[in-house]
Structure 1
Amino acid sequence: MRVNKWLAAAIFGWVLLWVGSLLLYDAKQVAKPIFFSHYYDVYPDDNLYTFSLYYLTNVTDQRQVTDIDLPDRTYPVFVDDRQITHRTNYHQIRQLDIRMDREPVRQDSWDVIEVRYSDGTWDEVDIGEITLHKQYPHHEWLDWISGSSSSNHTGSDTYRAREHLQVTGIRFDSPWPADFFHMQINGQSLSDTQFPLTLGKNETLTVQYAFDTSADVVSALHFYDLDADILVEDGAGKSEIIPLHIDYRPNLTDERIGQFVEERR
């Protein structure tokens, strides 16, 4: 009789555990795919624009993105949604590769696109801000001579002046993540740098940057692929813009993915 009681208690405990697991699993599910926020400056390569968007969906979701629609679209857009970059017990992160074959006749920018899925459903999603530029800025006065980047989200670029120049500032046109991004100019923090900086012929300018990946801020879960503008003038007062390319991909641990889901439900 005592054995039967222990067996009944064990079965009852197992049933409670099983029901609890099902309830937890159901509570973790998202009603539809959730796109991350992306902030990109994209330039053409032989009239071809390419970039990737990332979104989260349930780990059991077999749907794929088959097409996207953009305002005033008059050119081919190709999508490839075959790559899964991260998987947890409940969710998966998918990489949506996008290729646009179009003449770079104007600058376009989007923050919302229409996404169509393989099951016939569609959704209008906020993607951040993607800017397609007509061409890469032409510049002659600063030569890029070296650069580095690391998986710990730090990097640097060094330039050499072709002639006597004044560096008049660093401009951020796009939505930069100022709450966890830091920059130094020739070893001094950007906030403490006094512009203009004088560069003699063959003197160098070094720009270092770092993202604080430990920062508990929403923007640390966004994707960035942006240009900062180095503003320079020559002795005659003519100006030029040198783009400084900086990219950032968030460290999407299981814990951070869980936080992202709770914030975006």
Structure 2
Amino acid sequence: MKKSLLVVGIIGVLVSQFWNYQYYHSKQLEKPIFLTHYYDHTFYQNDEYTFSFYYLTNKNEPKQIQYMIADGVIAYPYRNDDEGITYSDHVSPVDEYDYQYLFSSPLSFSYEEIPFDEDGTWSFQEVTVRFTDGDSVTTDIGKVVFRKKRNPNHSEAIDFTAQGSRTDGTGTVEGYATKSLKIESIETLLGEELAGNIHFTLNGTEFNTRKPIDPIFVEKDEEIEILWEMGSLASTFEVELDFTGTTETGESFISSLLFTQLPDMDEKTVNELIQEKTGDKQ
């Protein structure tokens, strides 16, 4: 009798381990999943610019990026040391979830290597990423736009002083007008993408980055407050907004704001992202 109970117990343990393994295996990603990135940058000199790209990778086999290829242009991880580009077995995730890490890899793009189009811009959405273990993946990463050099003729008509965000996907940008002025347009290289993902208001007036705005009048020293709300916490933004208009003396101005927002995901958001990208319910 005791022997039979022992056998039943052993079988029960083995079955439990088998189903635990099956469940654990079902939570593993076949390949890293990249978040949606909306980035733009305007060059003011012949230099490099670095964007951070975010991706989910399995905890048991975390992958590091060796390089990224976008439209024939190779971007390597940026390392600020005297030895040049280095790779390390030690990895520090941005965030940790039940079965995945969220990694961030800063990748540098050189002005001299970018094949700008006739309109002076270059953009990409699909990339091929090679990892240090030899694996690679071709995937959509959102949209990244670079613009050729232009003269830094921005004025200080608007002084943006603070920017902050909350975990619920909302945030504020604060500033003030150094002169009495009229804001006539708010432009960005990623107007369509921002309009579809972020809701903006300026001093209580809604504005859409893909449509013309009605003029907004601001007195000298009057506070300027921009409120925004993201549609997805699994996206990341680094976008320059150009506020253009005229002062009360008739002087034209352009004041720029670098709008940034990092991903802020909980376990539920991660599971939803994995299901969206793979079709597998987590």
TM-score (norm 1): 0.80
Matches within 5 A, 1:41-56: 41-44=40-43, 47-56=47-56
Q: 2:135 — aligned with what?
A: 121
Contact 2:145 2:189 in 1 (8 A): no
Matches within 5 A, 1:22-171: 22-44=21-43, 47-73=47-73, 77-79=75-77, 82-103=91-112, 106-135=120-149, 138-140=153-155, 142-144=157-159, 146-152=161-167, 153-162=170-179, 164-171=180-187
The one of 170, 185, 190 equivalent to 2:202 is: 185
Flag the 1:173–1:99 CA change in 2: closer, same or farther, 3 A: closer
Matched, 1:227 2:240: yes
Instruction: Compute the RMSD of aligned alpha carbons.
Output: 3.1
Alpha-carbon distance, 1:150 to partner: 3.7
Aligned residues: 253
Secondary structure at 1:220 match in 2: coil
1:145-184 CA-to-partner distances (Å, cap 9, x unmatched) read 522314444122213243x422124345414455663433
What is the identity percentage for the equivalent residue pairs of Structure 1 and Structure 2? Answer: 21
Alpha-carbon distance, 1:78 to partner: 2.6
Flag the 1:131–1:58 CA change in 2: closer, same or farther, 3 A: same
Secondary structure at 2:93 match in 1: strand
Flag the 1:171–1:205 CA change in 2: closer, same or farther, 3 A: farther
Query: Which runs of 5 or more structure 1 residues have no equivalent in the other structure?
Result: none
Query: Which runs of 5 or more structure 2 residues have no equivalent in the other structure?
Result: 79-86
TM-score (norm 2): 0.75
Deviating 4+ runs (over 6 angstroms)? none
Secondary structure at 2:272 match in 1: helix
Alpha-carbon distance, 1:38 to partner: 0.3
Alpha-carbon distance, 1:185 to partner: 2.1
Distance (Å, rounded) in 1 between the aligned partners of 2:138 and 2:207: 39
Flag the 1:143–1:118 CA change in 2: closer, same or farther, 3 A: same
Contact 1:42 1:50 in 2 (8 A): no
Contact 2:157 2:253 in 1 (8 A): no
Q: Which region of structure 1 is more displaced relative to structure 2, 48-57 or 59-68?
A: 59-68
